[in-house]
Amino acid sequence: MIDFKNKLQNIKNQKNLYQKKHKTFDEQLNILKQRKLIISNDSFVLSKLQHINYYRLSAYFLPFQYPKNSENKNIFLPDTTFEDILSAYYFDTELRKIIFEAVESIEIYFRTQIAYFHSLKYDAFGYLQLQNFRENKADKYDELQKDILKEKTRSKEFFIKHFKKKYNSVDLPIWSVVEIISFGSLSKFFMILKEEEQNQVIQNIKGINKLVFYKWFHALSSVRNICAHHSRLWNRTLGVSFEVPKDFAAFEDIKKSKNKVFFALSVIEYLLTCIGEDEIEFKTKIKNLINKYPKVKLESMGFIQNWKENSIWRDDE
């Protein structure tokens, strides 16, 4: 058994090499000036620095600066203004909100499909039996059950308290379980479903097999988490790449962007179309956002030239 007291003491005894000191807002402003950022209104910049943590804003500096291995490290490229940085920041903020709403809709749809088809075959508590899942998935089944137990324990949802009190049961029916587990746990659930159920769950997603869908689900979970934690999405290389489906021209055209935001946007738009979520107007919102911020570089997000001609993004589709 690990001696946590000794471990904690060892951590405390380690020398902290971080030497940077607190910087006032005025000092932060001066740093930007020293790095050749064009600032036309000091008061405006100071007001923004008071509202947006300098460290958060600095995530948007890199594309506007000389390479880190150059002698001009940390210096902004010529003609770069504070407004350029701010536009990228606000673009990213609005982009995350649009994506989060869309992924939430997709997530709710597949929570419903998984609960419906699993309970159709095994009733409300069939998910508690290992034999009701794919063979050789006992380890993933155990992981899923631990996830469910953790969420049941910490959840404060009223319907859970009501169910436990009314039925004197510690186990929840599947249609309640899918509402409390994370998106990541939901992807595990899909992965260990028997093939027949997997095909039923994705029957409306034309041209996509269950393996591609699982990898999409997993990658979308990562994108959703980025949005939920207000992290930078613009200009980001995704840690979890999307799978490129075979013999699907629309995705073949953008396969070089499979670890970029544009591929994620295309997957989201395609899934929304397949499940009939037209009310979200995702495609329109993305196009309007791009028109609102014309200076934001789309190439950094993996957008291809003539991307609006791709069948997923054409307005006549």
The 10s digit of each residue's pLDDT in 127-157 is 999 999 999 889 999 999 999 998 887 766 6
Q: What is the mean pLDDT of the chain?
A: 91
- The closest alpha carbon to 118, from 126, 110, 108, belongs to 126
In the predicted model, what is the mean pLDDT of residues 305-310? 95
- In degrees, to the nearest 5, what angle opens at C-alpha 216 toward C-alphas 157 and 193? 65
Q: CB of 172 within 8 A of CB of 160?
A: yes
The rounded distance, in Å, linking the Cα atoms of 188 and 21 is: 44
Report d(CA 114, CA 121) in Å as an integer: 11
Domain boundaries, the chain: 93-309
Give me the pLDDT at residue 265, please: 98
Q: Is 250's pLDDT higher than 70?
A: yes
Nearest residue to 28 via CA among 52, 5, 64: 52
Report d(CA 95, CA 233) in Å as an integer. 8
Distance CA 32, CA 39 (A): 8
State pTM to two decimals: 0.88
Can you state the percent helix, strand and coil of the chain, rounding each to 5? Answer: 60, 0, 35
CA 26 to chain CA mean position, Å: 34
DSSP of 147-201, one letter per residue? HHHHHHHH---HHHHHHHHHH--SS--HHHHHHHS-HHHHHHHHHHS-HHHHHHH
Taking each helix axis as running N to C, give the angle between helix 183-192 and helix 210-228, from 0 to 180 degrees, rounded to the nearest 10.
170
Average pLDDT in the 297-305 region?
93
Q: For residue 5, what pLDDT is reported? A: 63
- Identify the band that residue 1 occupies on the pLDDT scale cut at 50, 70 and 90: very low
pLDDT tens track for 165-211? 666 667 889 999 999 999 889 999 999 999 999 999 999 999 999 99
